[in-house]
Amino acid sequence: MSADPTAAPPYRWRWLILVVMLVAEIMDLLDASIVNVAGPALEESLGAGSVGLQWVIGGYALTLGAGLILGGRLGDRYGRRRMFLTGLAAFTAASLLCAAAPDIEALIIFRLLQGTAGAMLLPQGLGLLRENFSGPELTKVFGIFGPVLGLGGIIGPVLGGGLIQGDFFGLGWRLVFLVNLPIGIAALIVAAVFVPRKPGDATVRIDGVGAALVAAACALLVLPLNQGQESGWPLWTWLCLAASVVAFAAFAVRQRRTAAAGRAPLVTPALLRKPAFTVGLGGIALFFGGLVGSQLVLTLYLQIGQHFTAGQAGLGNLPLAVGTAIGGAVSGAVLADRIGRAVLQVGPLVQLGGAALLWYELDGTGGPASFSIWDVAPGIAVCGIGAGMVIAALFSFILAAVDDHEIGSASGVLSAVQSVGGSLGVAVFGSVFFGRAGTGDFTGGFRQALIVQSCLLVAFLALTFLLPKKARPEGDQHTAPATGTADPAADDPRETAAV
């Protein structure tokens, strides 16, 4: 069939748009993981305690997750180019503020701002790509996203460890944030020049009350989990947890009423009436909470318990990264199509086997003088293989329960839950580890974290039986909504990366 002679030719500089989108995503992935190896340096420089470190790491994911859906809606209203440039400029400026933080309290505030900027920046990515690519080229673009973003997540701790240990210009941990400046400024210039202008939809209304409710609910959930261990779990921590449940329920009611009034909600209410999707939300939170939390504990154990340098601790994450890559390749290329949903059950079983092996390996570890990463590398790698099997397929099976016109909203919600789940993982696992490490029992703290991870994996395994038996075909996952209504999260790039 011949091409339509009246169709507009492809935008000349569209591949530069892809480069800029990838740069923005990699900046986010680096900042989500690069700080993991900065714990001892922050303690020495700013006097950061265990709670402060948890907020520096988890606070970024918290505000990112809480704002992702709103960020997508702002792109619909004001134009994706404008929101992308605004978010990128704010993210770069927040990185500079983080690097200049005079104390741990200021660093935490700046990290929260950085996550908020990321929430405004990231949801615009796929929308801009959809506007400038089509057909086979769009498929090729999605094929590029996964491997590049996977690499970004892997190199975060390694790069962070190298920068901190290198202590270039005497800047130490501040280089972890300063590295964003030249990258962000260059991306901002390229985007301002080459991303074409397209107006937003002035008829889109922003549900500010709904956005405030979901942000408050997330904060009320994470705050007591971060502070409770050190404070001895006073009454206010339990009241906050109860209030978070009320706030989430109020958000759901608000979305239903907004839709009933004929306005566009932040989240399509029909999604919350799909049992498989709501189960999937719980599965996402459990899995990524365990994954992010256990990776943090591994890094803390290597640095604090075994006196690894920041660079050595970064390299110590490589067995996990390699295992994850192997598991993802096996799942995506072989298992998902052949055994369907069972791949989501084999994955956590492999992780549980890795946790058991790691428990056994910890028996043979001595003090820092005799310890080597090779003592625990097999168990870590097996855990990574199991995690990779799940990561490669999880979003596809959850989205199989979603109608085509709901894909954008669904993927945005899942991405937000993924980020908030990671923040919860940092809070819970950090508290568990430091609860034992405070007495000098670092191996015991690591083992306590393994118990928590195993419980989360068992709960996740149980939930997988309620998911659809077959994954959604990959091509369908990126179909634009069928309705003419602007979708608040149709353009969130995290769903692509996760799938």
For 17-57, write each residue's pLDDT tens digit.
888 888 887 787 777 777 878 778 888 888 878 788 888 88
Mean pLDDT within 469-494: 45
Alpha-carbon 150 to chain mean position:
12
Alpha-carbon 292 to chain mean position:
9
Does residue 170 belong to any structural domain of this protein?
yes
Least confident of 119-128, 138-147, 164-173: 138-147
Better pLDDT: 126 or 70? 70
Mean pLDDT within 464-485: 57
Cα 74–Cα 182–Cα 47 angle in degrees, nearest 5: 85
Which tokens is 46 given?
A: 């700013």
pLDDT at 498 over 70: no
pLDDT at 1 over 50: no
**Residue 375 burial by Cβ neighbours in a 10 Å radius (0-12, 13-18, 19+):** middle
**What is the percentage of the chain residues whose pLDDT exceeds 70?**
86
d(CA 425, CA 126): 27
pLDDT at 478 over 80: no
d(CA 249, CA 95): 34
Per-residue pLDDT, 198: 82
Does residue 139 belong to any structural domain of this protein?
yes
Q: How many CB atoms lie within 10 A of CB 282?
A: 15
Per-residue pLDDT, 86: 94
Sign of CA dihedral 445, 447, 451, 457: positive
* Residue range 194-208, pLDDT digits in tens: 888 888 778 778 888
Please, are residues 489 and 412 in contact by the beta-carbon 8 Å criterion? yes
pLDDT at 479 over 50: no
Per-residue pLDDT, 402: 81
| Band of pLDDT at residue 477, cut at 50, 70 and 90 | very low
Per-residue pLDDT, 236: 92
Does residue 42 belong to any structural domain of this protein?
yes
Q: Residue 466 — φ and ψ, nearest 5°? A: -100, 0
Per-residue pLDDT, 250: 94
Does residue 45 belong to any structural domain of this protein?
yes
d(CA 288, CA 307): 27
Cα 367–Cα 370–Cα 373 angle in degrees, nearest 5: 95
Give the 3-state secondary structure percentages of the chain, helix then strand then coil, rounded to 5: 80, 0, 20
pLDDT at 487 over 60: no
Does residue 250 belong to any structural domain of this protein?
yes
* Residue range 303-352, pLDDT digits in tens: 888 888 888 888 888 888 888 888 888 876 566 667 778 888 999 999 99
Per-residue pLDDT, 439: 82
Mean pLDDT within 413-431: 88
pLDDT at 363 over 80: no
pTM of the model: 0.81
pLDDT at 361 over 70: yes
Please report, for the domain that includes residue 255, its CATH number: 1.20.1250.20
Which residues have a Cβ under 8 Å from the Cβ of 9 and sit 6 or more positions away?
A: none
* Residue range 325-336, pLDDT digits in tens: 888 888 765 666
| Band of pLDDT at residue 150, cut at 50, 70 and 90 | low
Alpha-carbon 10 to chain mean position:
32
pLDDT at 494 over 60: no
| Band of pLDDT at residue 491, cut at 50, 70 and 90 | very low
Does residue 2 belong to any structural domain of this protein?
no
Least confident of 96-105, 136-145, 344-353, 416-425: 136-145
- Range 149-185 burial, b when 16+ CB lie within 10 A, else e: bbebbbbbbbbbbbbbbeeeeeebbbbbbbbbeebbe
DSSP H stretches of helix in 341-493: 343-363, 377-391, 394-399, 407-437, 442-464
* Residue range 267-298, pLDDT digits in tens: 888 888 888 888 889 999 999 999 989 988 99
User: How many independent structural domains does the chain possess?
Assistant: 1
Per-residue pLDDT, 4: 52
Does residue 75 belong to any structural domain of this protein?
yes
Per-residue pLDDT, 148: 65
Alpha-carbon dihedral 234, 239, 242, 247, rounded to 10 degrees: -140
Per-residue pLDDT, 306: 86
| Band of pLDDT at residue 111, cut at 50, 70 and 90 | very high
Alpha-carbon dihedral 292, 294, 296, 298, rounded to 10 degrees: -150
Q: Domain range holding 388?
A: 14-498
